[in-house]
Amino acid sequence: MSITTAPAASSTSTAREVLSAAFPAGFGAFQDGKVVPGSGNSITLTSAATGEPFASYADPGTEGADSILESSVRGAAVWGALNGFERAAILRNVSRVVEAHIEELAILESATTGKPIRDARVEAAKVAEMFGYYAGWADKLTGQTIPVPGPWHTYTERVPWGVVVAITPWNAPLFTAGWNSAAPLAAGNAVIIKPSEFTPATTVRLAQLAHEAGLPAGVFNVAAGLGQTVGATLTSDRRVGKVSFIGSVPTGRRVAVAAAQAGIPALLELGGKSANIVFADADLERAADGAISAIFSGAGQSCVAGSRLLVERSVHSRFVEMVAERAARLRVGDPLDPDTEVGPIITAPQFATVTSLIEAGVNDGGRRVTGAALPDSLAGSKLAGGHWVMPTLLDGVTPANRLETTEVFGPVVGADAFDTEAEAITRANNTTFGLAGAVWTSDISRAHHIAREVKAGTFWINSYKTIHVAVPFGGFGDSGHGRSSGPGVLDEYTQTKAVWVPTRAAGSPFPSLSY
């Protein structure tokens, strides 16, 4: 096995240098084991940190998407014919190769998205872990032997869907590429990822590394490009067995309808508006650190962000001050600086959305406690034109405020006071979303009661934002359906076949059943 290594990038390189070092001949797709320049729409990539364009690429267009589908159908036949032990060995190798390229992937992710390098390193390591975890399942996908009345041996088998198309968002491109490829591959499917048009680079590089680690050609393809053309083509084509989508509610619904019309089932991981509930009896220092991490890590561009802070009235003012003080101390700046804790908003349209929602929150009665002007270190530097939003806390965000129910997807938290446990639960559930939530308290019974009552796919007690590939993750309500991690996801990526064999050949019954 020989692994090609992209020319080394350093933390002082610019986005343009890092990207052209990784893909000297351009990119638009990864198909049949090769990086392929596209010939469809031309897309300009803009640096979130400086606001300047740094590269452009052509996507595969609808014709290119069709050719990628053909390649994946061939790849699915090859991959599906391997046994689980063979697939496990290759996926273990993918894990090792990704692990050996964590730094390179992290620099590519950070330079091209604006994600702080310290977060990008953690996410790249998680991708290696995902492949290792699902490699462990690839040779353990068993069916069942089911006793039935009569002379029958009846058993089930797990059959891959064939081609799985995964549509991913821009906030965590590498992480979601691993999240949505390791499991379907372990289950024997070929995968096509359509990353966000804004952030395609690390997904292409991941597919390249996976191929070099032993995945046969066509098993892991990437179609970088626009959702309305490339994405829409891939999610409504009958050659596709299953669609998995991570992104916003409106797009998720559009994708699910298009897929359903082609008879394709879709798994949806959508947005959130999660409540972080703090009781007076909590360890308030720890809860304040947790509240900071809940909303400001990833600059709030996180589906599980703790964007509503509900605090018991007796400690509300003090706790809001504690969070505001910590928020003001966060190091906001150059994503490639290892000390940076909060980076810019990744896309220009999202930057506009976040700034207008802060204004809406203030107009609706929210009191800005922290977060406004950029520090001199940003305002007077080459970063001045970037998509910067300082960590923002608005207090007095009541149910009438738009920030109570609207996902901001930025570093903005709305706080409010509550008086009773019942009120905290009602407020937490005052959303159509149901992705995550948390409670901070030293009362163990109350903690479990609240965990039971809040409608969310993930709930933390005295913690926030811990997720692991071994644990099911997904949403209630508008946050989507289906789970995308844990062993259960292997059921999402396989179909069950039942096989009946008579154990007494002669004279065995043929029951009459009109079903």
In which residue are the tokens 């869907």 written? Answer: 161
32 binds ligand NAD (CB under 6 A): no
Among 50, 113, 235, 307, binds ligand NAD (CB under 6 A): 235
CA–CA separation, 3 and 1 (whole Å)? 7
248 counts as binding ligand NAD under rule CB under 6 A = yes
Stretch that binds ligand NAD, among 136-144, 167-175, 180-188, 398-406 (CB under 6 A): 167-175
Is-contact 300 408, C-beta < 8 A?
yes
CB 62 within 8 A of CB 230: yes
Q: Which residue do the tokens 């993750």 mark?
A: 473
Kindly state the smallest distance separating residue 234's Cβ from ligand NAD, in Å. Answer: 7
Element (H, E) at 266: strand 266-269
Q: Write down the catalytic residue from 123, 269, 407, 492.
A: 269
Q: Judged by CB under 6 A, does residue 407 bind ligand NAD?
A: yes
Which of 5, 56, 83, 228 forms a contact with ligand NAD (CB under 6 A)?
228
Among 69, 167, 185, 240, binds ligand NAD (CB under 6 A): 167
Decide: is 266 part of the binding site for ligand NAD (CB under 6 A). Answer: no
DSSP, collapsed to helix, strand or coil, labels residue 41 as: coil
Query: What span, in angstroms and rounded, lies between the C-alpha atoms of 431 and 501?
Result: 51
Does 366 participate in binding ligand NAD (rule CB under 6 A)?
no
Q: Which is nearer to ligand NAD, 188 or 300 (CB)?
A: 300
Residue 311 interacts with ligand NAD (CB under 6 A): yes or no: no
Shortest spacing between CB 346 and ligand NAD, in angstroms: 9
Full DSSP string of 390-453: --EEEE---TTSGGGTS---SSEEEEEEE-SHHHHHHHHT-SS--SEEEEE-S-HHHHHHHHHH
**Dihedral of alpha carbons 84, 85, 90, 92, sign:** positive
Shortest separation between residue 2's beta carbon and ligand NAD, angstroms: 32
133, 469 Cβ separation under 8 angstroms: yes
Complex with ligand NAD: residue 189 or 307, whichever CB lies closer: 307
Examine residue 232 and tell whether it contacts ligand NAD (CB under 6 A): yes
Q: Is 227 in the site for ligand NAD (CB under 6 A)?
A: yes
To ligand NAD, the closest distance from the beta carbon of 247 in angstroms equals: 3
With contacts defined by CB under 6 A, name the span among 39-47, 75-83, 240-248, 377-385 that binds ligand NAD. Answer: 240-248
Q: d(Cα 24, Cα 15) in Å, to the nearest integer?
A: 13
Is residue 303 a contact residue for ligand NAD (CB under 6 A)? yes
CA–CA separation, 65 and 61 (whole Å): 6
Among 72, 203, 244, 251, binds ligand NAD (CB under 6 A): 251
Residue of 95, 123, 273 lying closest to 199 (CA atoms) = 123
Q: Does 477 bind ligand NAD (CB under 6 A)?
A: no
- Look at residues 130, 36, 33, 37 and name the one whose alpha carbon lies nearest to residue 78: 33
Q: Least Å distance between CB 243 and ligand NAD?
A: 9
In angstroms, what is the minimal distance from the CB of 277 to ligand NAD?
20
By C-beta, is 391 or 482 nearer to ligand NAD? 482
Q: Which stretches of 67-160 are assigned E, i.e. beta strand?
A: 152-160
Toward ligand NAD, which CB reaches closer, 113 or 441? 113
Among 87, 205, 254, 455, indicate the residue that binds ligand NAD (CB under 6 A). 254
Strands 152-160 and 242-246: unpaired
Binding window for ligand NAD (CB under 6 A); candidates: 48-56, 105-113, 161-169, 438-446? 161-169
Q: Which is nearer to ligand NAD, 93 or 307 (CB)?
A: 307
- With the CA atoms of 130, 135, 138 and 144 taken in that order, what torsion angle do they form, in degrees rounded to the nearest 10? -70
Catalytic annotation on 269?
yes
Q: How many CB atoms are closer than 10 A to CB 11?
A: 16
- DSSP readout, 439-503? EE-S-HHHHHHHHHHS--SEEEES------TTS----SGGGEES--SSTTHHHHTEEEEEEEEES
Nearest to residue 405, comparing CAs of 379, 371, 429, 381? 429
SS3 helix, strand, coil % of the chain, rounded to 5?
40, 20, 40
Stretch that binds ligand NAD, among 85-93, 137-145, 230-238, 448-456 (CB under 6 A): 230-238
The CB density around residue 9, as the number of other CB atoms within 10 Å, is 21
Q: How far is the CB of 182 from ligand NAD (least distance, A)?
A: 15
Contact call for residue 231 and ligand NAD (CB under 6 A): yes
Biggest CA-to-CA distance, the chain: 89
Residue nearest ligand NAD, CB atom distance: 227
Query: For 231, which DSSP code?
Result: I
User: Residue count at the site for ligand NAD (CB under 6 A)?
Assistant: 29
- With binding defined as CB under 6 A, does residue 271 bind ligand NAD? yes
Interacting residue with ligand NAD among 129, 197, 312, 492 (CB under 6 A):
197
Name the residue nearer to ligand NAD (CB basis): 232 or 438: 232
The reply to whether 200 sits near ligand NAD by the rule CB under 6 A is: no
CB of 261 to ligand NAD, least distance (A): 12
Among 104, 129, 269, 341, binds ligand NAD (CB under 6 A): 269
Q: Is 429 in the site for ligand NAD (CB under 6 A)?
A: no
Q: Does 434 bind ligand NAD (CB under 6 A)?
A: no
Return the active site residues: 269
Give the interface with ligand NAD as residue ranges (CB under 6 A).
Answer: 167-171, 194, 196-197, 227-228, 231-232, 235, 246-248, 251, 254-255, 269-272, 303, 407, 409, 435, 475, 480
